[in-house]
Chains A and B, each alone.
Chain A
Amino acid sequence: MRYLLILTLFSCSLAAYAQKVVFRADCNASDVVVNNPFKVSFVLENADVKNISFPKFEKDGFSVVQGPMNESRYTNINGKSSYTESYVFLLAPKKTGKFTLGPAKVVTTNGKVLSTKSIEINSVAAGKDSEGGNDNLPAGKVIYRMIPSTKTAVPGEQVSVDMKVYTQLDLASVGMTLEPKSKQVELLPTNYNDQQTSVDVINGRQYASKTLYRFTFMAGSPGIVEISPSKIEFVQAYSSNPFSRREILSVLSNPLSIEIKAFQKEPPTFSGAVGKFEMYATLEKTGINSDDFLNLVLTVSGVGDLKKITGIPIKFGKKGEKPFEIYPPKIVENIEATAEGKSGIKDFIYRLEPNVIGDFEMRPTFTYFDNKLRKFVTIDTVIPVRVIQGKKVLGKSVPMESDTEAQKITLSFGEAAAKAYWRKPGAQFFGSWFFWILFFLPIALFIALAASKVYLKNRYETMLKQMALTKANRELNENLKKALICLSASDAPAFYHAISEAFKHFLGKKLKIPKAEMSKEIMVEKLEGLVEDDKIRSLTRIMKICELSVFAGQDNKQAMQLIYDDSIELFAIFTKTFS
């Protein structure tokens, strides 16, 4: 177990030594009030101190209030270990003026000699002015300020507003009770967490200061952005009277006014992004043949509104040259809100297909507005690319007529026409309504012809029927007339013959019974279903009487009259039935 522990420590120390060795000096103030303390730390990272020498504080004009306080710390984050050893002093300037705190030197256990940079300190005289605070506070003991990252922004710039408190008291339970607001922009809180307390001098009074909150907003169109004051509440941690009631105190910040100015002379390649960015290009190969294509990945990373960047112009050596067909890029982005505002990385994946063969210089150009330098910055990368002939025949290599043999081109082009015939392109005839009218015209003609033929045929037949009917009626009238004369003359055989002939002729025509087949039975058979049974029976009776009279010679005039009347009645019924 002991060996294991030693081994672990050994490996840890090896890992620590493997890290970069740094010796630095940190100071929490640049301006201090004379005789007021400030903190200076000398920090050695990833090495052990063999020998250390500090600046001559007294000689440099400072008195040591406290120190050195020695701290050492070992950290291991995700397998990456580091070791720091710090020496902390509380110093106070003895008089006003600008002082330089000389460098500290260290000799590490492995013989490395390192020294820190000098620190400039401005010592000022104590003042009496006061600012901020409320009636409950001793004037000027606590100041609360809103500090913008810039007082003049440009459209698209990300502006941060720090809520900073300056205090000469020990504060506890600090909380914001009134958030800053603006009508022009949306203020968004960030996850800002300032661990460091620094020293600031305001109006000749020294304060411990700390940024409590940070809000950000995106500058829009030109104009003035007004931000209303914020308010914090707190209690005093230590009081002169330990038994006094702890009062909740509050302090109001200043309001802010930030001007947004329009850009002056935007470069044509300006992407619209404002912040601090970097761009780098990745090309899997710089030489391809005409059958191939290139995937160019342009990566933009940094702090600012990356959403504004929608593409990166790609230029080529000569103006107007277009050796590649550039397709709209595929965009992959990873943007997150940090304490610094929106930041992240955005990849533009371009597909480039060669139009011509040759050597080219590809020049992706990205321009943004640097919010620190307050000017446009253009990142211009030059990538040499070579396109060689593959199977595909590209623009430049299309053979002219003189090269046709070399390219195994067998067909040649014709001559240019010396004369042209001009016309307005007409509408399509095939399938138009006029086309279909012409198409259906003969068909309609045939249909009409066939219909008229059928009609004429029907009409002819009707006419023939009418004629036959008329003839039958005429014959009937003649026979009945003849029968009536015979009845008057009491000529029974002739009378019955006329009646019989009248029935035979009339029904023969109506029922289309040939003369050769005409008989009483045929007539009855044909009439069945057409007239009522009693009428058929009546006809049978009359025909039987007529047949008998030829052989028996009946001359009863009264019976003849009855037969005549019955016959007239039957003819009336038959005429009605067959009309």
Chain B
Amino acid sequence: MKFSIFFILLSLIPYFSISAQDNDYKGNFEKGLKSWNNKEYASAVKHYEASLSGAYKSPEAYNNLGLAYYKTADIGKAVLCFERAIRMRPGYSNARKNLKAAQQYIDSKIKKSSSFFLFGLLGSIALLLSSFSWSLLFFLLFFSASAGLLLRYLKLNERLSFVGLRVGIIFMVLSIFCFGFARSAAAAQFDKNLAIITSVRAGVRTAPGLDGEDIMVVSSGVKVKVQEEMGDWVKVRLENAVVGWVPAKTLEKI
């Protein structure tokens, strides 16, 4: 009996420790908000960073941290935080708005390589929901389509067979779209190779090391895709399709 009580208490330890952590990150978030309201932006950055240092994350905390970074004139970090907030919740309109506002301060020379407008439109739709939500929607439609086609296949009666075929085809087409959106959203949400230039400037070079020739200089906040890592240097692809090497310390992965 004594042993049982002991083990029950032992099993409760993690719960209490998690609760303590909960209070900690929530407390830091509150402190960050208080500093923000008092216009103590450097202090707000410190508290929000502390709140996000644990296992628990919040898109709102990332959004607020991004705003605090913006106020401390660190556009690169601000963009990074807004991106992280959107990654956690793709439909987070406030973070999207803030990201767009922050991107006004980024080097405008780097433009996305143009793509067919329809792909752009589909890409935008994909980012409206999270990959998980798109996946659930896909399964809903896919199972409905399967049920319709099953009715057709079984030919239980003529009317059911007629309705089943039409419902099956329509839902199957919709489910294919949802599958594509889920895939795009997953790529944007879980791509571990996307990074933001957080250093004020980074020289993009043809080769790792200072022996490489300069291709261009990118400023903080520019989004890049990491292709290769070699020691202190990282090979990146910019949105304008330029590929080159930058020092690893100049960027942070989203």
Contacts and interface: CB of A to CB of B under 8 A. Distances in A.
A423 B56 contact: yes
Contact of A417 (B64, B183, B186): B64
A165 B61 CA distance: 81
B28 to A, nearest CB: 10
A531 to B, nearest CB: 42
> Is chain A's interface secondary structure helix, strand, loop, or mixed overall?
loop
Nearest to B57: A425
A238 interface: no
B210 A330 contact: yes
A424 B55 contact: yes
A415 B71 CA distance: 13
Interface string A461-474: 00000000000000
A325 interface: yes
Nearest to B186: A430
Interface in B55-106: 55-61, 63-64, 67, 70-71, 73-75, 88, 94, 97-98, 100-102, 104-105
A329 B70 CA distance: 31
Contacts of A412: 101
Given A351-B203, A422-B26, A428 B186 contact: yes
A417 B60 contact: yes
B146 A445 contact: yes
Contacts of B245: none
B64 A422 contact: no
A392 B135 contact: no
B36 to A, nearest CB: 5
A4 interface: no
B199 A428 contact: no
Given A351-B203, A422-B26, A446 B58 contact: no
B135 A435 contact: yes
Contacts of A431: 183, 186
Contact of A330 (B26, B211, B250): B211
A358 to B, nearest CB: 13
Contacts of B135: 429-430, 435
Interface residues on B, range: 35 or more
Nearest to B30: A420
Contacts of A351: 203, 210
Nearest to B210: A330
Contacts of B105: 393, 398-399, 409
A394 interface: yes
Interface string B2-20: 0000000000000000000
A79 to B, nearest CB: 37
Counting chain A residues whose Cβ lies within 8 A of the other chain, the interface size class is 35 or more
Nearest to A425: B57
Interface in B112-158: 131-132, 134-135, 139, 142-143, 146, 149-150, 153-154
Given A395-B200, A442-B146, A430 B58 contact: no
Contact of B200 (A325, A415, A420, A450): A325
Contacts of B107: 392
A10 interface: no
B131 A429 contact: yes
Contacts of B247: 327
Interface in A291-347: 291, 293, 325, 327-330
A320 B102 CA distance: 27
Nearest to A324: B200
Contacts of A425: 57, 88
A449 interface: yes
Q: Which has the most chain B C-beta neighbours within 10 Å: A330, A420, A426?
A: A420
B171 to A, nearest CB: 11
Contacts of A421: 58-60
B33 interface: yes
B132 to A, nearest CB: 5
A392 B219 contact: yes
A446 B101 contact: no
Contact of A410 (B58, B104, B200, B219): B104
A392 B200 CA distance: 10
Contacts of A330: 210-211
Contacts of A420: 26, 29, 58-61, 64
Contacts of B70: 398, 413
Nearest to B97: A414
Contacts of A430: 131-132, 134-135, 182-183, 185-186
A398 B73 contact: yes
Interface in A425-443: 425-426, 428-431, 435, 438-439, 442-443
- What 5 pairs across the A-B complex have the smallest Cβ distances? A442-B146, A417-B60, A420-B60, A420-B58, A430-B186
Interface of A: 291, 293, 325, 327-330, 349, 351, 353-355, 392-396, 398-400, 409-426, 428-431, 435, 438-439, 442-443, 445-446, 449-450
Given A328-B210, A353-B200, A424-B55, 14 more contacts: A293-B203, A354-B200, A409-B104, A411-B101, A416-B64, A416-B67, A418-B33, A420-B60, A421-B59, A421-B60, A430-B186, A442-B142, A442-B146, A449-B154
14 contacts: A325-B200, A327-B203, A353-B203, A353-B217, A393-B105, A410-B104, A419-B60, A422-B26, A422-B58, A425-B88, A429-B131, A442-B143, A445-B150, A446-B146
